[in-house]
């Protein structure tokens, strides 16, 4: 039985850094302590040893955000899929060993990762995002075209549903297609041309039906929700997490805290606000949504933290480019979290959100050996990306 010891570093144990060795045997953390020995010793002097990171809201099937209509219409699905291995590897190199894919990655993407055909983080996928007619995932234009529609891969259901019966059916279909979490558009969005992010999508009855149906099958629901009313409807329905939460108000924050609903704020998306307002490739309706927007998502995040809402790290990349994911940590720390809380939101908290905290998210005996070795101070988030020294997944060095 091969064993590896990370020796002489500062390990993130519980909610703090402590001088301690960490030993992994056959892919599992076997011991935490001092003077540990093993077949292989990794000198971590001057380094920090952290659990593997999570990104609980990403889109690995999309290599980049491209608003150019000609590019999108002339790019074959195969060309986009073949970029996936590069994207997955890039994300893994950041220390992100587990992701929750929020739409676009069919079951084949997960199979490729699980079987080792593609080197990247382990994935739980939502397959596609359920949307009402005219909602965030419906790009149908007034003149009858649907130019920005994503290509539905084999087995991927059309995400549009209306009425309780239709919502129940689509929930079952997307779970049948392999969804390990159901994603819904509870509000309009910013990058869709026909809706308003402040407006709710889906009635309360429709949302209730989706969450109830998913729960019967042991699956939780994540809700894209920008507007205050959409957030409240989603919380009432019992969703596991609110994604974005841009216009969260005090009542909504109190509801989330009381219900134990998580917030995945995707603060990194705010980095493109000014760019999108000036992007001539984007539809005018999209550009107008970003004009004079400011950064309400940061205000919402601070309100959530002050209200005791549980938060987990998620980025919505490639809205901001893949590879910038760790920028989310700096933004969380700038908007209400301590450095230690930021690491917890990116590790143990994120694992809890995904229901994986019994196996992942912390350096504890018996858990899977996902380890990130960082040169220097792990709380210097602005330079963290450049200082990722090693990444270990399942006890195997992958970076």
Residue whose C-alpha is closest to residue 125's, from 194, 84, 181, 169: 181
**Rg, Å, the chain Cα set:** 21
What confidence score (pLDDT) does residue 285 get?
86
What confidence score (pLDDT) does residue 1 get?
64
Q: Domain 3-51+370-397 is in which class? A: mainly beta
Cα→Cα distances 145→66, 76, 139, 140, 295, Å:
18, 18, 8, 6, 32
What confidence score (pLDDT) does residue 75 get?
83
Angle at 324 between CA 289 and CA 315, to 5 degrees: 55
What confidence score (pLDDT) does residue 42 get?
97
What confidence score (pLDDT) does residue 153 get?
77
Going through 290-399 in order, the beta strands assigned E by DSSP cover: 371-375, 388-393, 396-397
- Please state at what angle helix 296-307 crosses helix 250-259, rounded to 10 degrees: 50
What confidence score (pLDDT) does residue 145 get?
64
Residue tagged 């992958």 (tokens): 398
Question: 120-154 burial, b for 16+ CB within 10 Å, e for fewer?
Answer: bbbbbbbbbbbbbeebbbbbbeeeeeeebebeebe
What confidence score (pLDDT) does residue 221 get?
98
Phi first, then psi, for residue 236 (nearest 5°) are: -60, -35
Task: State how far the Cα of 342 lies from the Cα of 325, in Å rounded to an integer.
Answer: 13
Q: Supply 223's token pair.
A: 């809700």
> Which overall architecture, per CATH, does domain 53-353 show?
Alpha-Beta Barrel (3.20)
299 CB-contact burial (10 Å; exposed 0-12 / middle 13-18 / buried 19+): middle
**Contact yes or no for 359/350 (Cβ under 8 A):** no
Task: State how far the Cα of 311 lies from the Cα of 294, in Å rounded to an integer.
Answer: 22
Full pLDDT tens readout for the chain, 399 residues: 689 999 999 999 999 999 999 999 999 999 999 999 999 999 999 999 999 999 999 999 999 988 777 787 788 888 889 999 999 999 999 999 999 999 999 999 999 999 999 999 999 999 999 999 999 988 776 666 666 566 677 889 999 999 999 999 999 999 999 999 999 999 999 998 889 999 999 999 999 999 999 999 999 999 999 999 999 999 999 999 999 999 999 999 999 999 999 999 999 999 999 898 898 888 888 899 999 899 999 999 999 999 999 999 999 999 999 999 999 999 999 999 999 999 999 999 999 999 999 999 999 999 999 999 999 999 999 999 999 999 999 999 999
pTM of the model: 0.95
What confidence score (pLDDT) does residue 216 get?
98
- DSSP H/E element including 164: helix 163-176
What confidence score (pLDDT) does residue 252 get?
98
Any idea of the CA torsion for 272, 277, 282, 284, to the nearest 10 degrees? 150
Question: 257-272 burial, b for 16+ CB within 10 Å, e for fewer?
Answer: beeebbbbbbbbbbeb
Pairing of strands 262-264, 241-244: parallel
Strand partners, 183: 129, 222
Parse the chain into domains and list their residue ranges. 3-51+370-397, 53-353
Residue whose C-alpha is closest to residue 347's, from 33, 58, 12, 47: 12
Residue whose C-alpha is closest to residue 128's, from 159, 97, 96: 159
């Amino acid at each position: 039985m091969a064993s590896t010891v990370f020796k002489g570093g500062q390990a993130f144990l519980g909610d703090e850094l402590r001088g301690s060795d960490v030993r992994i045997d056959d892919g599992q953390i076997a011991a935490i302590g001092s003077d540990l020995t093993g077949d292989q010793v990794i000198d971590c002097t001057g380094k920090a040893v952290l659990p593997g990171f999570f990104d609980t809201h990403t889109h690995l099937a999309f290599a980049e955000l491209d608003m150019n209509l000609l590019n999108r219409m002339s790019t074959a699905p195969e060309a986009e899929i073949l970029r996936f291995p590069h994207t997955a590897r890039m994300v893994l190199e950041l220390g992100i060993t587990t992701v929750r894919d929020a739409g676009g990655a069919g079951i084949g993407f997960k199979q490729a990762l699980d079987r080792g055909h593609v080197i990247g983080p382990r994935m739980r996928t939502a397959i596609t995002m359920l949307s009402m007619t005219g909602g965030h995932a419906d790009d149908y234009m007034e003149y009858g075209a649907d130019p920005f529609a994503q290509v539905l891969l084999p087995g991927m259901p059309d995400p549009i549903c209306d009425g309780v019966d239709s919502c129940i059916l689509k929930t079952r279909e997307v779970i049948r297609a392999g969804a390990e979490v159901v994603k819904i558009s509870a509000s309009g969005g910013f990058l869709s041309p026909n809706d308003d992010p402040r407006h709710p999508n889906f009635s309360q009855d429709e949302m209730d039906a989706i969450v109830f149906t998913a729960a019967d099958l042991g699956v939780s629901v994540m809700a894209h929700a920008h507007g205050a009313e959409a957030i409240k409807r989603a919380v009432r329905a019992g969703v596991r997490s609110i994604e974005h939460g841009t216009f969260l108000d005090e009542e909504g924050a109190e509801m989330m805290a009381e219900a134990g609903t998580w917030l995945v704020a995707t603060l990194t998306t705010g980095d493109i606000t000014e760019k999108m307002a000036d992007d001539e490739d984007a539809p005018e309706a999209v550009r107008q949504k970003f004009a004079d927007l400011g950064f309400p998502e940061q205000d919402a995040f601070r309100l959530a933290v002050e209200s005791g809402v549980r938060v987990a790290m998620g980025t919505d990349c490639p809205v901001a480019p893949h590879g910038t994911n760790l920028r989310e940590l700096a933004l969380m720390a700038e908007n209400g979290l301590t450095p230690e809380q930021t690491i917890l939101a990116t590790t143990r908290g994120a694992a809890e959100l995904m229901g994986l905290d019994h196996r992942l998210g912390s350096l504890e005996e018996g858990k899977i050996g996902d380890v990130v070795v960082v040169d220097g101070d792990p709380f210097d988030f602005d330079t963290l990306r450049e200082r990722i020294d090693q990444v270990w997944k399942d006890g195997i060095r992958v970076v």
